[in-house]
Structure 1
Amino acid sequence: MMTNLFSSFDPSTSFGLSLNWLSTFLGLMFIPSMFWLIPSRWNYLWIKITNTLHLEFKTLIGPFHQGSTLIFISLFTMIMFNNFLGLFPYVFTSSSHMSMTLALALPLWLSFMVYGWINNTIHMFAHLVPQGTPPVLMPFMVCIETISNVIRPGTLAVRLAANMIAGHLLMTLLGNTGASLPLVLINLLIIVQLLLLVLESAVAIIQSYVFAVLSTLYSSEVV
């Protein structure tokens, strides 16, 4: 029996194994036919998307480490696949859990910090005090900038997980009321659910793009 509404999103199955996490790799089932068979419209569309992302990430990163755009394009692709797969019925949305989103954000942030403090120590110290700060406020600005830097992986993870679970929760709440509604309101409910599904499709793309862009901006600050 469900103890609360959020337990419906728990990664568990009827036989006690958390095999729902395998949905994270379901996207790999769609990629081979797209890339390794005869080129199709999907193939050209995806090449266009990756080229556009590459040009945008290259601008954000700057003149150094241009090959790093491949990391962020792969990150965008993985998150977007997981977000979209979560919209299908009975498919577990792994990107709505902190254990998944924090596992993506924390290693990225740690690698940026380690690289920055080892190779560009003076540059990292300079980031703690914004240009033009009065000398009296410098100790406070160092504290504020340090805290804002430390909570970055948490904000990245919470933003993705909260946005993904919010729409799913709303659709679940509306869907649970369908059994007690008259026929006229059920038709209205179906229309609302379809509109929510379109909105969630947009959120799936936007949130994966926001995650990748913010990761790119964080990486550009350490070079």
Structure 2
Amino acid sequence: MMTNLFSSFDPTSSILSIPLNWLSTLLGILIIPLSYWLIPNRSLIIWKMMTTKLYQEFKTLLISNKNMGSSFFFISLFSMILFNNFLGLFPYIFTSSSHLTFTLSLALPLWISFMLYGWINNTQHMFAHLVPQGTPPILMPFMVCIETISNVIRPLTLAVRLAANMIAGHLLLTLLGNTGPMIMNSPILIQILILSQILLLMLELAVSIIQSYVFAVLTTLYSSEVN
């Protein structure tokens, strides 16, 4: 029995005193051998069509020729986040993407690498980004402060956006699920509860796809800004 509403997000829960929760992040490795079959199945064909479409979109975002091949990295990032978001919708599976430990571990190293690359190789270009074009001279010091703050908080906004969206849907599902035993004597309310749970689960499926896509696209945009 849960002692707290947030117990379902507790990363310290264990199996036989062994903390194995974070291993759910690596379960996606099990589906990789399926892509080596000569004749793929229908689900793999759909997945390849989706990744091809993503590759074309990321390629347009990465305008510079220096970023040849970077789109494959961002497609892999999208795939990993999407898989972990989907896993969290199954019962008794730990949702790693709902924790800042996971999301910050993705966002912070990427942002630091972009900043180091930009300030070392394109210093003048990075200074030009601090003052938007057409800014009056009197407002330039304030714009530098605002742009610097907005740039520094980028990894935090990336991490919090993904974690908060995953936590919100899971909390709603948990709250609705906990009301089930209280209305067992009312068949109509049970039917309404089940229907609302199904609709909310469909919404969570859409949120899982959208948030992984947003994370990958924003990371791609941040990397294109430093070139």
What's the TM-score, normalizing by structure 2? Answer: 0.95
Equivalent position to 1:156, from 155, 158, 169: 158
Read off the aligned partner of 1:19 and give its amino acid letter.
L
Instruction: Specify the SS of the correspondent of 1:30.
Output: helix
Equivalent position to 1:217, from 207, 217, 221: 221
> How far does residue 29 in structure 1 lie from its aligned partner after superposition?
1.6
| 1:100-138 alpha-carbon deviations (Å, 9 max, x no partner) | 000000000000000000000000000000000000000
Alignment of 1:117-128 (within 5 A): 117-128=119-130
> RMSD over aligned Cα, in angstroms?
1.2
> How far does residue 6 in structure 1 lie from its aligned partner after superposition?
1.3
Equivalent position to 2:135, from 114, 126, 133: 133
| 1:72-100 alpha-carbon deviations (Å, 9 max, x no partner) | 00000000000001100101110000000
- Which range moves more in the overlay, 57-66 or 213-222? 57-66
Equivalent position to 2:92, from 85, 90, 93: 90
Residue 205 (str. 1) matches residue 209 (str. 2): yes
Residue 196 (str. 1) matches residue 196 (str. 2): no
Task: Please say if residues 100 and 160 of structure 2, whose CA atoms lie closer than 8 Å, have aligned partners that are also in contact.
Answer: yes
Task: Give the distance between the partners of 1:91 and 1:21, measured in 2 at CA.
Answer: 10
Structure-2 residue corresponding to 1:7: 7
Structure 1 stretches lacking a partner, 5+ long:
none
Read off the aligned partner of 1:54 and give its amino acid letter.
Y
Residue 60 (str. 1) matches residue 61 (str. 2): yes
Read off the aligned partner of 1:149 and give its amino acid letter.
N
- Runs (4+) of structure 1 exceeding 4 A deviation are none
Task: Give the distance between the partners of 2:15 and 2:32, measured in 1 at CA.
Answer: 30
For these two proteins, the number of residue pairs brought into alignment is 222
Task: Give the distance between the partners of 1:58 and 1:200, measured in 2 at CA.
Answer: 28
Structure-2 residue corresponding to 1:69: 71
Residue 26 (str. 1) matches residue 45 (str. 2): no
Task: Please say if residues 64 and 224 of structure 2, whose CA atoms lie closer than 8 Å, have aligned partners that are also in contact.
Answer: no
What's the TM-score, normalizing by structure 1? Answer: 0.96
Task: Give the distance between the partners of 2:98 and 2:150, measured in 1 at CA.
Answer: 23
> How far does residue 58 in structure 1 lie from its aligned partner after superposition?
0.8
> How far does residue 14 in structure 1 lie from its aligned partner after superposition?
4.8
Residue 44 (str. 1) matches residue 45 (str. 2): yes
Task: Give the distance between the partners of 1:142 and 1:220, measured in 2 at CA.
Answer: 20
Read off the aligned partner of 1:119 and give its amino acid letter.
N
Structure-2 residue corresponding to 1:104: 106
> How far does residue 46 in structure 1 lie from its aligned partner after superposition?
1.5
Instruction: Specify the SS of the correspondent of 1:103.
Output: helix
> How far does residue 9 in structure 1 lie from its aligned partner after superposition?
1.0
Instruction: Specify the SS of the correspondent of 2:44.
Output: helix
Structure-2 residue corresponding to 1:144: 146
Task: Please say if residues 58 and 217 of structure 2, whose CA atoms lie closer than 8 Å, have aligned partners that are also in contact.
Answer: yes
Task: Give the distance between the partners of 1:46 and 1:214, measured in 2 at CA.
Answer: 22
Structure 2 stretches lacking a partner, 5+ long:
none
Read off the aligned partner of 1:7 and give its amino acid letter.
S
Identity %: 71
Task: Give the distance between the partners of 1:110 and 1:211, measured in 2 at CA.
Answer: 16
